[in-house]
Amino acid sequence: MINCEFDRRRFLQWTGASVFAAMSAQLSGEALAQAAAASPLPARTPILVLVTLYGGNDGLNTVVPYTDPRYRSLRSNIALDHTQVVPIGNSLGFNSSMPLVAQLYHRRKVAIVQGVSYPNPNLSHFSSMAIWQTASLTGESSGWIGRWLDRQAHSPFSAIGVGSTLPPAFIGERSVASMVDVGGIQLPWGPVSEILPRLGSHSPTDVALESAAATSISDLYSVARSVGPHLPKSPSGSWISQQLEVVASCINANVPTRVWEVNLSSFDTHTGEQGDQNALLSDVDTAIGNFMTKISAGDRSGDVTLMVYSEFGRRVASNASDGTDHGTAAPVLLIGNRVKGGLYGEMPSLKHLDENGNLRVTTDFRSVYGGLLHDVLGTPVADIIPDWKKTLSVH
C-alpha cells in the first residue's frame, strides 16, 4: 500500500484516462509545417519519445530469464524456452517476437533498465499509471512532462501526443501539451458547412466546456485545411506503427518538439498470455524498428531517445488460465543511437520474492526519469520531481 491516501476523486479521473484533453490545441499539419519552417528545432537538440504500454506488460516474458529454473517452474504454462528468445547474455533473452529491438540491442543502442517500479507497488492499473505519469507517489499531481512544459517558454509545439486523447503525463500546472491525429479527415459537407465554422468560434458567455466544444469544431477545420508535406499521407502498419511513423516524419522535418508520446493498450494478459503478448510485442518491435530506420536515415539520427514502459510488470507465477495477474517491477527500455546500450540496474531475484509473490523493485522509476530529464531535457530532476535527486544515466 502506498502511504498517502489516493484521493478518490483523482482516482475517478484516472479511470477516465484522459483529462483536459480538449484544453490542448489540436495542431494541424499546416501549423506543424509552419513551425518547422519558422523555428526548426536546432540541430543536436535531444528529443524524447515516450512509448506507453497500457495494461501492465509482462516484463518477464519481454526480457526473459529463460535459463533460470525458477522462471520455468513458476510459470510452466507460459514460460518461453531457448527457442523462443533471442539471447542477449547474462542468462537473459529478448522475447523472439522482438527481433528488431534485439538486433538494436546487439548494436548497443538499447539500454535495459531492470526491475523498475515505484516503492510498495499497489497492483492497481489506475493508481500505478497515475504514479508513473505524475512521478508522485500519491498520483495526485500534475504530469511530469507537464511540469517540464511549465518551465519552458510557451509554445504549443514543445510536447505533442499522437492520437485523439492526451496522456495525463502531458498536463502541467499551467501548460498542456498538444495533439496530432493519425487518421484522415473528412470535412462536413452540404449547406450546413456555411454555419459550422461559425459555431467553432468562442462566445464570451461560454463556460469552459462550451469553449472546448467550440474548439473541437474549429480544430477539425484547422486540421483538415491542410496536411503538411511532412506528415505521412497514409501511415501504414499497426496502430503503434502508424503513430511512430507520424513522429518520425515530424522529427525528420525538424518540427520544434522536444517530447512525443505514443501508446498501445491491451497488455493486461490475465489469460492466454503467450499468443496475445507476442502479437503485441511484435507490433511494438516492428514499429520501433521502422522508426529507428527512418530516424537513422535523417538529420537527427543521434538526437532521439525512446522510453518504452508500462504501469507494472506481472506476477512471477502464472495462473491456471495461462496468464498472469498484476505484478510489480519490470524492465524499462531506452532506445536511441546515442544511448549506451546494455543492462542497467539489478535483475530482481526470482527466489526472494515479496510477500505477494512479486518481484522486488530494484530501480525506482524516478531515477530513470531523472536521467532523461538531465540528459535529454536538460532539466535538473529536483525541479520536476521534488526531493528526488537520483539519476540513472544511459547517455
Partner 1 sequence: MSLTTSYQERLAIARLLHRFNFGPTPGQYADLVRHGLDATRATVLQHGVADPGIDSVKPLVLADLGPFPDGSAAKSNQFWNRIQKDSSDLIMWWLDRMVAARHPLTERMTWFWHGHWATSISSVTYPLTMKKQNSTLRSHALGNFMAMAKEMVVDGALNIWLNNNENYIAAPNENLAREFMELMTIGVNHYSQLDVAAAALALTGYSTVQSNGTVTLNRKEHFSVPVGILGKTAVYDAESLAELVVSRKDNVQFITDRMWFRFVSGTSAPPPTLAESFAGRDIASLVEALVHSPAWTDPANALVKSPVEWFVGACRALKVRPSSLDHDATQWLLSQMGQLPFNPPNVGGWTYGEAWLNGVAFQYRFQLAQNIVAKGDLSPLDVQPLNMVQACADWLGIPQWSRRTANALTLALATPSELALGAILSPEYMVSA
Residue with cell 516524419: 249
Nearer to partner 1, 1 or 43 (CB): 1
Residue 178 makes contact with partner 1 by CB under 8 A? no
Report which secondary-structure segment, H or E, holds 51: strand 47-53
Residue 348 burial by Cβ neighbours in a 10 Å radius (0-12, 13-18, 19+): buried
Site string for partner 1, 32-71 (x = CB under 8 A): ----------------------------------------
Q: How near is the Cβ of 222 to partner 1 at its closest, in Å?
A: 7
Q: Which residue from 165, 290, 391, 393 is in contact with partner 1, where contact means CB under 8 A? A: 165
Q: How near is the Cβ of 214 to partner 1 at its closest, in Å?
A: 4
Report which secondary-structure segment, H or E, holds 296: helix 273-297
Binders of partner 1 among residues 122 to 161 (CB under 8 A) are 122-127
Cell of 312: 507494472
Report which secondary-structure segment, H or E, holds 218: helix 208-225
CA pseudo-torsion sign 260, 266, 270, 274: negative
Q: How near is the Cβ of 75 to partner 1 at its closest, in Å?
A: 10
Euclidean distance between CA atoms 263 and 53, whole angstroms: 6
Euclidean distance between CA atoms 251 and 389, whole angstroms: 30
Euclidean distance between CA atoms 293 and 308, whole angstroms: 17
Nearer to partner 1, 197 or 298 (CB): 197
Nearer to partner 1, 208 or 382 (CB): 208
Euclidean distance between CA atoms 166 and 161, whole angstroms: 6
Nearer to partner 1, 41 or 176 (CB): 176
| Start-to-end C-alpha separation, the chain | 34
Euclidean distance between CA atoms 98 and 240, whole angstroms: 14
Q: Which residue from 206, 238, 263, 395 is in contact with partner 1, where contact means CB under 8 A? A: 206
Residue 186 makes contact with partner 1 by CB under 8 A? yes
Q: How near is the Cβ of 296 to partner 1 at its closest, in Å?
A: 31
Residue 9 makes contact with partner 1 by CB under 8 A? yes
Nearer to partner 1, 2 or 99 (CB): 2
Residue with cell 506528415: 231
Nearer to partner 1, 349 or 356 (CB): 356
Stretch touching partner 1 by CB under 8 A, among 36-44, 154-162, 205-213, 254-262: 205-213
Q: Which residue from 81, 173, 210, 346 is in contact with partner 1, where contact means CB under 8 A? A: 210
Site string for partner 1, 80-119 (x = CB under 8 A): ----------------------------------------
Site string for partner 1, 294-333 (x = CB under 8 A): -----------------------xxxxx-x-xx-------
Helix-strand-coil split of the chain, %, nearest 5: 35, 15, 50
Cell of 60: 518477464
Q: Which residue from 37, 199, 279, 297 is in contact with partner 1, where contact means CB under 8 A? A: 199
- Please check whether residue 14 is in contact with residue 168, taking contact to mean a CB–CB distance below 8 angstroms: yes
Q: Which residue from 42, 153, 154, 194 is in contact with partner 1, where contact means CB under 8 A? A: 194
Binders of partner 1 among residues 212 to 271 (CB under 8 A) are 212-223, 265, 268, 270-271
Dihedral, 114, 247, 265, 336 alpha carbons, nearest 10: -10
Binders of partner 1 among residues 260 to 279 (CB under 8 A) are 265, 268, 270-271
Residue with cell 473541437: 216
* Angle at CA of residue 159, ends 155 and 163, nearest 5°: 125
Edge-first strand order for the sheet with 63-64 is 63-64, 92-95, 85-89
Residue with cell 511513423: 245
Nearer to partner 1, 123 or 347 (CB): 123
Cell of 75: 510459470
Site string for partner 1, 352-381 (x = CB under 8 A): ---xx-------------------------
Residues in contact with partner 1, total (CB under 8 A)? 80
